[in-house]
């Protein structure tokens, strides 16, 4: 009926409510009062009403299907685009009947806020609470509640006030912020675009002016403040140029900006922004679909999330979610489902959890409309946001082979918790007679920690051994703490669960601190996949002494190297939870050094680390000998992709 707007400044709001509470009437009235319904269309609807001997209803502008008009309920989701006072809005009319919950969920997933329509005569119904719950599950955090049909109760203020308080409490119970409760009469068009004498006791703004003010306030607050999120749709190659096409979900992107790809951890710089057929542009904003060209060509695929290097999304393979089941086929605990977040699609296992946090995998039964807390485990790492709801990367859907079966939102609280043990208060730390400074003076150089992190096969151990030999031959006190070596002794009791990985890093961090305090240059070489654990290591060791070095290497190159045969063992089922495949790796965002071992020789890497140590005053180049390492061959063009 009305052309859809695609510009990024359109405010999207989903409208929900119990059947017959007046959603479609409200939306029809909005279009009628804002001049969006042609006169001939108005006359046609009036004529149809006369022929059917029914009162004229603005809702009939939307209930276009004959079966809908006869039954008096909305079956599909209708989009209502309109302008008000120079601003553009998209209201999404979501069905209120329980049988059409799936359609309602589809509409709500696109919205930023919700309008809940409640009939003041019928009051709160079961579907009112369910709709509020579903909006919360789909990541909508704010709602406007519209109390309709005040004309039927003589515009009684007392009835409205009590109902408004109850509705606000109900929204709060579902974790929703109630922005306003507004009384209206949709049938008569009162308190929608302008005030009405019948609502003289109401001192707030009418519905549309309130939404307009809300939009202006939101624009003032968020302009330039949202982190960049762009979902990668696909990569196209024309005339030896690669175009990385996607949609900007939040923030903005511009040429010259250094960008980060998650979950791969690859970094490049935007060379240009291209649109078709318009050509290049200097900046792209939220809601725009564009292609970017990079200064350095990299190999990435659909599903990556593009961000700045300062504010990146989370990368995980296991997380909690609250979902609403949408399929007529019940949930099957032993089935694999397809998870979709942004443009990423990955197979996953779903386990229903109890309120106490335990699983009830074997006996779990979810039917159409059921709401449940679940744990989702994906077969490979994915990127998402927990709290940045404006980018929609906290919203998800689950699919079977042929159907969408559930929708939900990633839980705000992270699944992985690991608290470091606290020493007994009766244990007293003993300071030695020989302090760190005295040792460093005798050694002739300060101590420091070089923390090498990266995937298996990225070259951590190779660089660590090369650094050790070079610094040792140059007269420096140096020690290497290799993650695999420590797992044969100090950490032999640990497995590869997230909790054990955290404990592994805690032990290595404390050992590194001991060597640091004796004045050694301490080289730590371990995958250390979680940013949280590396942050704890930094805090223990200290900002001045903790030097994070990201040994970047594309996963496909690591798999081709496979120095320990681990990637091959994953294929044969001998190894599970391998980082980068079935277990997440969260790449460092701002490491002191980022070394691409698929392009650099070991000699180049050693030289880069020595430059870092020289800048920090740990080593002095005039004291160094030639590096005693055997360079690796230059990377092939395939490895450079």
C-alpha 183/C-alpha 150 separation (Å) is 7
How crowded is residue 160: how many other Cβ atoms within 10 Å of its Cβ?
20
Judge whether residue 478 has pLDDT over 80: yes
Q: What is the pLDDT of residue 504?
A: 93
Instruction: Report yes or no on 638 lying in a domain.
Output: no
| 348 and 234 in a common domain | no
Instruction: Report yes or no on 636 lying in a domain.
Output: no
Query: What single-letter DSSP state applies at residue 421?
Result: P
Judge whether residue 13 has pLDDT over 50: yes
| 139 and 181 in a common domain | yes
User: To which residue do tokens 């290097």 refer?
Assistant: 309
Q: What is the pLDDT of residue 65?
A: 40
Active site residue 509: no
* DSSP3 helix / strand / coil % (the chain, rounded to 5): 30, 30, 45
Contacts of 444 (CB under 8 A, 6+ apart): 475
Residues paired with residue 348 on neighbouring β-strands, in sequence order: 337, 378
Percent of the chain at pLDDT exceeding 70:
85
Instruction: Report yes or no on 15 lying in a domain.
Output: yes
CA distances from 149 to 43, 125, 640 (A): 24, 15, 66
Q: What is the pLDDT of residue 224?
A: 53
| 484 and 340 in a common domain | no
Say if residues 143 and 176 touch (Cβ distance below 8 Å).
Answer: yes
Judge whether residue 631 has pLDDT over 50: no
What is the pairing mode between strands 395-399 and 336-341? antiparallel
Instruction: Report yes or no on 632 lying in a domain.
Output: no
Q: 571-590 pLDDT, tens per residue?
A: 887 887 788 887 889 988 88
Say if residues 459 and 597 touch (Cβ distance below 8 Å).
Answer: yes
SS3 626: coil
Tokens of 337: 């489902």
The gap from C-alpha 151 to its chain's centroid, in whole angstroms, comes to 44
For residues 623 and 6, which has the higher predicted lDDT (pLDDT)?
Answer: 623
Q: 248-296 pLDDT, tens per residue?
A: 988 999 999 999 999 988 889 999 999 877 677 899 988 888 999 999 8
| 253 and 114 in a common domain | no
Instruction: Report yes or no on 429 lying in a domain.
Output: no
| 386 and 514 in a common domain | no
Contacts of 232 (CB under 8 A, 6+ apart): 244, 245, 246, 261, 300, 301, 302, 303, 304, 305, 306, 343
| 251 and 175 in a common domain | no
Mean pLDDT for the chain? 83
Q: What is the pLDDT of residue 147?
A: 96
Residues paired with residue 550 on neighbouring β-strands, in sequence order: 453, 594
Rounded (10°) CA dihedral 43, 47, 53, 54: -30
How crowded is residue 327: how many other Cβ atoms within 10 Å of its Cβ?
18
Say if residues 140 and 176 touch (Cβ distance below 8 Å).
Answer: yes
Judge whether residue 150 has pLDDT over 70: yes
> Among the three residues 175, 198, 222, which one is the final residue of a domain in this structure?
222
- Give the end-to-end CA distance of the chain in Å, rounded to a whole number: 47
Judge whether residue 425 has pLDDT over 70: yes
Judge whether residue 412 has pLDDT over 90: no
Judge whether residue 227 has pLDDT over 50: yes
Query: What single-letter DSSP state applies at residue 284?
Result: E
Q: What is the pLDDT of residue 231?
A: 94
User: To which residue do tokens 């590396």 refer?
Assistant: 534
Q: What is the pLDDT of residue 360?
A: 54
**Closest of 586, 533, 137 to residue 317, by C-alpha:** 586
Judge whether residue 507 has pLDDT over 80: yes
Instruction: Report yes or no on 416 lying in a domain.
Output: no
CATH at 325? 2.40.30.10
C-alpha 498/C-alpha 584 separation (Å) is 10
| 495 and 619 in a common domain | yes
Judge whether residue 627 has pLDDT over 60: no
C-alpha 307/C-alpha 106 separation (Å) is 26
The gap from C-alpha 487 to its chain's centroid, in whole angstroms, comes to 33
Q: What is the pLDDT of residue 153?
A: 95
Q: What is the pLDDT of residue 84?
A: 83
C-alpha 628/C-alpha 517 separation (Å) is 27
C-alpha 129/C-alpha 174 separation (Å) is 9
CA distances from 97 to 17, 22, 104, 145 (A): 9, 13, 9, 18
C-alpha 249/C-alpha 261 separation (Å) is 14
Tokens of 628: 């005693």
Contacts of 520 (CB under 8 A, 6+ apart): 447, 477, 478, 479
Query: What single-letter DSSP state applies at residue 494?
Result: -
Q: What is the pLDDT of residue 407?
A: 87
**What angle in degrees, to the nearest 10, is found between the helix axes of 498-517 and 531-541?**
20
Tokens of 56: 């004229």
| 359 and 281 in a common domain | no
Range with the poorest average pLDDT among 96-100, 157-161, 287-291, 498-502: 96-100
SS3 560: helix
> Among the three residues 282, 308, 334, which one is the final residue of a domain in this structure?
308
| pLDDT tier for residue 135 given thresholds of 50, 70 and 90 | confident
Strands in 400-520 per DSSP E: 404-410, 448-453, 478-482
Range of the domain at 329: 317-410
Tokens of 524: 């730590």
Task: Give the sign of the dihedral formed by CA 258, CA 263, CA 265, CA 267.
Answer: negative
For residues 78 and 448, which has the higher predicted lDDT (pLDDT)?
Answer: 448
Q: What is the pLDDT of residue 271?
A: 94
Say if residues 353 and 342 touch (Cβ distance below 8 Å).
Answer: no
Instruction: Report yes or no on 371 lying in a domain.
Output: yes
CATH at 585? 3.40.50.300
> Among the three residues 273, 308, 343, which one is the final residue of a domain in this structure?
308
| 116 and 138 in a common domain | yes
How crowded is residue 93: how many other Cβ atoms within 10 Å of its Cβ?
27
| 273 and 237 in a common domain | yes
Q: What is the pLDDT of residue 245?
A: 94
pTM: 0.73
Q: What are phi and psi for residue 413, nearest 5 degrees? A: -85, 130
Q: What is the pLDDT of residue 77?
A: 52
> Which candidate in 528, 583, 597, 598 is catalytic?
528
Please tell me the total count of domains within the chain: 4
Q: What is the pLDDT of residue 589?
A: 83
Q: What is the pLDDT of residue 73?
A: 43
| 347 and 244 in a common domain | no
User: To which residue do tokens 């006791």 refer?
Assistant: 201
Q: 44-92 pLDDT, tens per residue?
A: 888 888 888 888 777 777 654 444 444 444 444 567 777 888 888 887 7
C-alpha 260/C-alpha 315 separation (Å) is 13
| 466 and 369 in a common domain | no
Q: What is the pLDDT of residue 275?
A: 85
Residues paired with residue 475 on neighbouring β-strands, in sequence order: none
C-alpha 13/C-alpha 5 separation (Å) is 14
Instruction: Report yes or no on 418 lying in a domain.
Output: no
**Closest of 264, 266, 279, 270 to residue 251, by C-alpha:** 270
Task: Give the sign of the dihedral formed by CA 585, CA 590, CA 591, CA 596.
Answer: positive
Contacts of 462 (CB under 8 A, 6+ apart): 597, 602, 632
Judge whether residue 451 has pLDDT over 80: yes
Q: 204-220 pLDDT, tens per residue?
A: 999 999 988 887 766 54
């Amino acid at each position: 009926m009305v052309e859809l707007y695609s510009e990024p400044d359109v405010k999207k709001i989903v409208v929900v409510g119990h059947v017959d509470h007046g959603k479609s009437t409200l939306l029809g009235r909005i279009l009628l009062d804002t001049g969006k319904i042609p006169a001939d269309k108005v006359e046609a609807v009036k004529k149809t009403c006369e022929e059917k001997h029914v009162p004229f209803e603005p809702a009939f502008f939307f209930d276009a299907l004959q079966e809908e008009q006869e039954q008096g309920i909305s079956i599909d989701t209708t989009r209502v685009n309109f302008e008000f006072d120079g601003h553009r809005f998209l209201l999404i009319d979501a069905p209120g009947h329980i049988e059409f919950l799936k359609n309602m969920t589809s509409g709500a997933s696109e919205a930023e806020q919700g309008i809940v329509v409640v009939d003041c005569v019928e009051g709160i119904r079961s579907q009112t609470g369910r709709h509020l719950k579903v909006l919360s599950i789909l990541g909508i955090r704010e709602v406007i509640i519209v109390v309709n049909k005040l004309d039927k109760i003589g515009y009684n203020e007392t009835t409205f006030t009590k109902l408004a308080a109850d509705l606000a409490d109900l929204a709060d119970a579902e974790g929703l912020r109630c922005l306003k409760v507004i009384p209206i009469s949709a049938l008569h068009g009162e308190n929608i675009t302008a005030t009405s004498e019948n609502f003289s006791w109401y001192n707030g703004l009418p519905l549309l002016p309130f939404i307009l003010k809300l939009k202006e306030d939101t624009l003032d607050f968020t302009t330039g403040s949202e982190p960049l999120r762009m979902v990668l749709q696909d990569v196209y190659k024309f005339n030896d140029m690669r175009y990385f096409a996607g949609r900007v979900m939040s923030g903005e992107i511009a040429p010259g900006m250094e960008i980060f790809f998650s979950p791969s951890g690859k970094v490049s710089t935007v060379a240009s922004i291209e649109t078709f057929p318009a050509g290049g542009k200097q900046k792209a904003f939220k809601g725009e679909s564009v292609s970017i060209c990079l200064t350095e060509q990299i190999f990435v695929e659909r599903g990556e999330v593009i961000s700045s290097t300062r504010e990146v999304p989370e990368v995980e393979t296991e997380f909690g979610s609250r979902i609403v089941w949408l399929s007529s086929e019940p949930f099957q605990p032993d089935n694999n489902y397809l998870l979709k977040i942004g443009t990423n699609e990955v197979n996953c296992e779903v386990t229903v959890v109890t309120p106490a946090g335990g699983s009830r995998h074997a006996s779990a039964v979810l039917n159409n409309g059921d709401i449940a807390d679940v744990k989702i485990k994906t077969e490979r790492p994915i990127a998402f946001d927990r709290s940045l709801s404006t980018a929609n990367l906290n919203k998800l859907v689950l699919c079977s082979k042929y159907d969408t079966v559930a929708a939900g939102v990633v839980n705000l609280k992270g699944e992985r918790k690991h608290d470091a043990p606290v020493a007994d208060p009766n244990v007293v730390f003993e300071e030695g007679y020989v302090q760190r400074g005295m040792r460093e003076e005798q050694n002739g150089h300060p101590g420091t920690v070089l923390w090498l992190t990266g995937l298996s096969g990225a070259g951590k151990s190779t660089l660590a051994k090369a650094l050790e030999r070079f610094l040792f031959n140059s007269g420096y006190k140096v020690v290497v703490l290799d993650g695999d070596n420590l797992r044969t002794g100090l950490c032999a009791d640990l497995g590869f669960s997230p909790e054990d990985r955290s404990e592994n890093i805690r032990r290595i961090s404390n050992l590194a601190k001991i060597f640091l305090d004796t004045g050694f240059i301490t080289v730590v070489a371990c995958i250390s996949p979680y940013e949280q654990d590396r942050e704890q290591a930094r805090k223990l060791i200290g900002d001045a002494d903790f030097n994070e070095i990201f040994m970047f290497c594309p996963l496909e190159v690591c798999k081709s190297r496979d120095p320990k045969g681990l990637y091959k063992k994953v294929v044969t089922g001998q190894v599970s939870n391998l980082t980068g495949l079935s277990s997440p790796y969260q790449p460092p965002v701002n490491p002191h050094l980022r070394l691409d071992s698929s392009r650099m020789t070991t000699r180049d890497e050693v030289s880069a680390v020595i430059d870092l140590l020289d800048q920090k005053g740990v080593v002095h180049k005039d004291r160094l000998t030639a590096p005693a390492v055997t360079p690796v061959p230059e990377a092939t063009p395939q490895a450079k992709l």
